[in-house]
Structure 1
């Protein structure tokens, strides 16, 4: 499991707050960033990804790529790859799909169910843990690299 260097927990009262947190992070992260998302089914991982995409002026639908494994978003400012590895049988399957080509200095990668790709995926900058909490959710942002720590420290609650 990944070891956080800095953590910040934020209570998200509703779906809009989850999108807003994703957008706030999206405005901070540069190309080359890798974000892991952790949480149970329906916890809000894809909703968070929608917020990141909104920060790059994307307003279309955002669905979890559970069956395709990856959904590319070719945007004017950046290419964003949204992965959902829930149905991955073996991490080696990622090698067959050319996973390393997605992790370029020009792209941002958002990865749900990252633990299924353990040993193949690169180091994440941030781990976002989303869990139901009361009427809303709780998001814990964990900085895993120097850049990730800076982004977590500077995110507005």
Structure 2
């Protein structure tokens, strides 16, 4: 299942992230692709706010992984930014596989590692829209069918 939609601004991007929060569950993988400044972190912030995060969610660009746990959020989440990852072997050191047992993953820059690493992902690609704002192209694996369809 796939589709495309228009996001007028960062607020619309965060609101779309909030719409994903109610259906997110442990073991889910959400891949966030797009150039710098296209809305990946804004979307992740919306998801986290929808899960109950009261404070600001920092970008994990320098830390690589930013975990969120109960009671801070209703579902444990690991927000990863793989921009600085140069080899898929580095993922093992990060422990992302272990995180899937009890957490959901929000992964920025997933193209930095082989696509085969991700099982049943929801893949979102953000791009600049010709008339301003952003376009979002999404591809949902079978695990996501009937769970989330953006509008």
Q: Is TM-score (shorter-chain normalized) higher than 0.5? A: yes
**In 1, Cα distance between equivalents of 2:136 and 2:91:** 27
**In 2, Cα distance between equivalents of 1:127 and 1:33:** 11
- Other-structure match for 1:111: 107
Pair 120,94 (structure 1): closer, same or farther in 2 beyond 3 Å: farther
- Other-structure match for 1:87: 84
- How do 1:1-157 residues align onto structure 2 when only pairs under 5 Å count? 6-76=1-71, 77-104=74-101, 106-118=102-114, 121-133=117-129, 134-144=131-141, 146-153=142-149, 155=150, 157=151
**In 1, Cα distance between equivalents of 2:58 and 2:120:** 22
21-30 or 121-130, larger mean C-alpha shift: 121-130
**What TM-score, normalized to structure 1?**
0.86
Count, aligned residues? 148
How large is the RMSD of aligned CA atoms in angstroms?
Answer: 1.6
**In 2, Cα distance between equivalents of 1:119 and 1:8:** 20
DSSP 3-state at the match of 1:123: coil
**What TM-score, normalized to structure 2?**
0.89
Moved over 3 A (4+): none
Q: Structure 1 residue 102: deviation in Å?
A: 1.4
DSSP 3-state at the match of 1:151: coil
Conserved 8 A contact 1:131-1:139: yes
95-104 or 7-16, larger mean C-alpha shift: 95-104
**In 1, Cα distance between equivalents of 2:127 and 2:144:** 20
DSSP 3-state at the match of 2:92: helix
